[in-house]
Amino acid sequence: MIDMQEPIPYLDLNAQHRSLRRELIRAIDAVFASSAFAGGTFVERFEKAFADYCGCRHAIGVGSGTDALWLALQAVGVGPGDEVITVPNSFFATAEAITVCGARPVFVDVDEATLTLDPKKLEAAITPRTKAVVPVHLFGQIADMNPINRIADRHGLSVIEDAAQGHGASYHGRRAGGLGRAGCFSFYPGKNLGAAGEAGAVTTNDDDLAARVRMLRDHGQARKHDHQLVGWNGRMDGVQAAVLEVKLRHLDTWTQRRRERAYAYQELISRVPGLRAPTEAHSARHVYHIYGVRCDGRDDLLRHLSKHNVGCAIHYPRPIHLQPAYHDLGYGEGCFPVSEQAANQLLSLPLYPELGMEKLQRVATLIADWHDGQAMARQRETSPNRLATDAALGG
């Protein structure tokens, strides 16, 4: 018997690190032994391994996923006066990187089923100022890249994948990071491949672009003291690279376990009316960074699960176009109905490779109980008995 009150955290990084502790400490020790702390051999080794993993010619290790987006946009020439198209239902950094380049984010709504950039809405948002498109592989599912690339090619736009949630996800058999002109990854600790701190990477098959990103992340230096460009300090740490190299070897196993758990949820949750499990598109192999279900009464369900010690999260409670920081862009409520509805309905359930199946079942049972409770409350409200009582009381 499991203890029914035992908390189920939303995320449990300790569970992952317990089994890797020795390996990780040995890897970190090697960095200290060589003092290759900023950039250097450990970063180079991880870059090679990650490029191979993504099926790309180049991976460039940087300071964070936000750095990766900013550096990739800079490297394709995005600057003041340009527009860059992206989606409003992402982490804020996707749009923020565009703004920090001096360009203007232009949003298009997402597909109702997959919640990724809707290619049917893309062309209408393109203007003579548009320079690039940033589709987001939301929750671990790759956006519909073929039509997006076709439209972008027709208009001479660069496509930069926001693959911060898509490590190892594939689309028609090709992995995230190699599906546009550049791919941007985050290794924030909670991501499917997470560092022991902040880190990110830019991937590309374009040799010139790779060279520009390499320079930009290191103060625009081609060689020491030869500053060809104005860049920034966006280098990856040696310790992070060493940790990531160890973890990368386990990523496919972890992804498989995430997928098994997603299917288990799907099986249990599809029996609950009114609850919508994530859609896995035919062409895209989902890596379930986030398992987001949709339902009406989401806030009530969140309260119910919290009351029973189940950790949940909301990705994302307010779409980017409605954030105060972007008030000046002039968007308002109703501009992107699919994203706005998703923001009101989505609830992220605990899902990680180490999540015990009995715990997952407990989450699903709690959700079914919540639904039954709601249905019963509705029935009570409309039953003839209740109406008669209300009438007798003069209600």
Ligand X SMILES: *Cc1c(COP(=O)(O)O)cnc(C)c1O
Q: Residues interacting with ligand X, by CB under 6 A?
A: 64-66, 90-91, 93-94, 136, 162, 164-165, 186, 188, 200
Residue 7 has phi, psi (to 5 degrees) of: -65, 145
Question: Among residues 36 and 93, whose Cβ is nearest to ligand X?
Answer: 93
Question: Among residues 93 and 364, whose Cβ is nearest to ligand X?
Answer: 93
Q: 98 and 84 in contact (C-beta within 8 Å)?
A: yes
Tell me how far, at minimum, the Cβ of 110 lies from ligand X, in Å: 13
Tell me how far, at minimum, the Cβ of 70 lies from ligand X, in Å: 9
Question: Among residues 55 and 189, whose Cβ is nearest to ligand X?
Answer: 189
Q: What is the largest CA-CA distance in the chain?
A: 89
Question: Among residues 27 and 163, whose Cβ is nearest to ligand X?
Answer: 163
C-alpha span between 282 and 144 (Å, rounded):
10
C-alpha span between 167 and 177 (Å, rounded):
8
Tell me how far, at minimum, the Cβ of 145 lies from ligand X, in Å: 16
Question: What DSSP character marks residue 10?
Answer: S
Across-strand partners of 308? none
- Give me the residue whose beta carbon is nearest to ligand X: 65
Q: DSSP secondary structure string, 153-196?
A: HHTT-EEEEE-TT-TT-EETTEETTSSSSEEEEE--TTSSS--S
Q: Give residues with Cβ within 8 angstroms of 19, minimum separation 6.
A: none
Tell me how far, at minimum, the Cβ of 136 lies from ligand X, in Å: 5
Residue 212 has phi, psi (to 5 degrees) of: -65, -45
Residue 42 has phi, psi (to 5 degrees) of: -70, -40
Q: 124 and 335 in contact (C-beta within 8 Å)?
A: no
Q: DSSP secondary structure string, 347-393?
A: EEEP--TT--HHHHHHHHHHHHHHHHHHHHHHHHHH-HHHHHHHHHT
Question: Among residues 83 and 161, whose Cβ is nearest to ligand X?
Answer: 161
Across-strand partners of 310? 8
Question: Among residues 8 and 163, whose Cβ is nearest to ligand X?
Answer: 163
Tell me how far, at minimum, the Cβ of 182 lies from ligand X, in Å: 14
Which two structure tokens, joined as six digits, stand for 367? 């959700």
Tell me how far, at minimum, the Cβ of 34 lies from ligand X, in Å: 25
Tell me how far, at minimum, the Cβ of 165 lies from ligand X, in Å: 5
Question: Among residues 62 and 360, whose Cβ is nearest to ligand X?
Answer: 62
